[in-house]
């Protein structure tokens, strides 16, 4: 991707951010007083696909390159909004350094089995694309500080460039063999010097997500995958949460052990994490159901245990009696009676 194409795509991304609800998010980010935090900017992939199919395809097929470009476009859009809001003296705005576009694939073609496989079906063919997996968090690691980038200057052309750690090499930073600055004539320099005070650190956390046993066949072993969370995604989920993770599949070398062959372990670098727990809790309950609930307990407001007994009689009414067994089952499996209650 040359510089001209990059700038053109960035302008189209900025245009998209100003065409939908992202303007409200950008104004909210500009109003935040802390300039050092990392802020998420949520984008629906389905809406992006309707607005500009080419950008959507590039983000899906070459996520590593174009998600970073989208982050740069978000910063550019932020500066534009900042200038508009600063014209009004009533607005107290602060320029932000870190804004990350978070892709929501809900309701988009990316919910198909090819891009939304079960964890046990993740293969090398999914590497490099925007992938989504669903499962349960079985392990939540400690939050660490992680070096995200640093700058070097070429001794020959005196231009500086940014290098990032490689996940495949366990976050080791390696310098390029030749100067990566692309101009009309390549520089060809091979000696670089670190630029002082250019290290940017990020919050870093690793979690392990395992596919749910409810979707597996009899005798199948649930598979798991390591997920890397960065910046604003850190500490948003805990062990036991049901999550949907969208990100970029890569791999990293396993630790070096004597007389043990090194393997590449699959890793998902998260772009967005959604807790399904919250989605379940947002299920709407009709007013009719609320009214029935209130009427039922109004009948037993003076004797709530009688109301409890009435509920227990409705659990598996085909089985006569066994009051104590049903009471114990209700306390051990609190959700069971919801599926077996028959008023």
Spell 233-257 as b/e; 16+ CB within 10 A means b.
bbebbeeebbbbbbbbbbebeeeee
> Are 243 and 265 part of one and the same domain?
yes
- Are 248 and 271 in contact, with CB atoms under 8 Å apart? yes
> Are 37 and 104 part of one and the same domain?
yes
- Are 167 and 268 in contact, with CB atoms under 8 Å apart? no
pLDDT tens by residue, 75-89: 888 888 888 877 765
Q: Does the pLDDT at position 336 exceed 60? A: no
> Are 35 and 160 part of one and the same domain?
no
* Number of domains present in the structure of the chain: 3
Spell 129-139 as b/e; 16+ CB within 10 A means b.
bbbbbbbbbee
The closest of 223, 226, 222 to 252, measured between CA atoms, is 226
> Are 170 and 118 part of one and the same domain?
yes
Note down the domain range covering 73: 3-108
- Say which residue, 130 or 2, is predicted with more confidence: 130
Token duo for residue 159: 């231009």
Phi, psi values for residue 250, rounded to 5°: -145, -160
Q: Whole-structure pTM over 0.75, yes or no?
A: no
Alpha carbon of 94 to those of 14, 25, 26, 29, 250: distances in Å?
A: 20, 14, 12, 9, 35
> Are 219 and 295 part of one and the same domain?
no
pLDDT for residue 229: 92
- Say which residue, 299 or 172, is predicted with more confidence: 299
Strand 160-163 and strand 144-154: pairing?
antiparallel
Instruction: Identify the CATH number of the domain in which residue 89 sits.
Output: 3.30.1640.10
Spatial distance between the Cα atoms of 116 and 107, rounded to a whole number of angstroms: 12
Q: Give the CA count within 13 Å in the CB-facing half-sphere of 160.
A: 10
Q: Does the pLDDT at position 341 exceed 60? A: no
> Are 271 and 172 part of one and the same domain?
yes
Q: Does the pLDDT at position 335 exceed 60? A: no
Phi, psi values for residue 75, rounded to 5°: -65, -40
The residue length of the chain stands at: 343
């Amino acid at each position: 991707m040359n510089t001209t194409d990059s700038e053109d795509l960035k302008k189209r991304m900025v245009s998209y951010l100003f065409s939908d609800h992202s303007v409200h998010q950008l104004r909210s980010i500009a109003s935040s007083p802390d300039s050092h935090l990392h802020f998420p900017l949520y984008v629906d992939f389905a809406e992006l696909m309707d607005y500009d199919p080419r950008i959507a395809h590039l983000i899906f097929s070459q996520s590593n390159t174009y998600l970073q470009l989208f982050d740069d476009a978000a910063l550019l859009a932020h500066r534009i909004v900042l200038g508009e809001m600063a014209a009004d003296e009533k607005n107290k705005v602060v320029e932000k350094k870190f804004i990350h576009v978070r892709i929501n694939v809900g309701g988009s073609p990316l919910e198909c089995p090819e891009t939304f496989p079960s964890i046990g079906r993740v293969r090398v063919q999914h590497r490099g694309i925007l992938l989504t997996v669903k499962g349960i968090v079985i392990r939540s690691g400690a939050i660490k500080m992680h070096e995200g980038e640093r700058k070097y200057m070429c001794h020959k052309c005196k231009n500086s460039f940014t290098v990032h750690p490689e996940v495949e090499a366990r976050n080791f930073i390696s310098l390029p063999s030749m100067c990566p600055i692309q101009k009309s004539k390549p520089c060809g320099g091979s000696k670089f010097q670190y630029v002082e005070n250019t290290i940017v650190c990020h919050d870093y956390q690793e979690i392990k997500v395992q596919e749910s046993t409810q979707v597996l066949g009899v005798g199948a072993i649930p598979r798991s995958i390591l997920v890397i969370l960065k910046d604003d995604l850190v500490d948003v989920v805990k062990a036991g949460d049901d999550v949907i993770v969208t990100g970029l599949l890569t791999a990293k070398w396993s630790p070096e052990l004597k007389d043990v062959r090194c393997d590449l372990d699959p890793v998902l670098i998260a772009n967005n994490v959604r807790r399904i727990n919250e989605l379940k809790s947002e299920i709407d309950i009709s007013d009719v159901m609320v009214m029935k609930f209130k009427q039922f307990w109004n009948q037993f407001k003076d004797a709530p245990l009688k109301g409890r007994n009435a509920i227990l009689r409705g659990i598996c009414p085909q089985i006569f009696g066994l009051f104590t067994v049903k009471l114990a089952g209700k306390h051990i499996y609190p959700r069971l009676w919801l599926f077996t209650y028959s008023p």
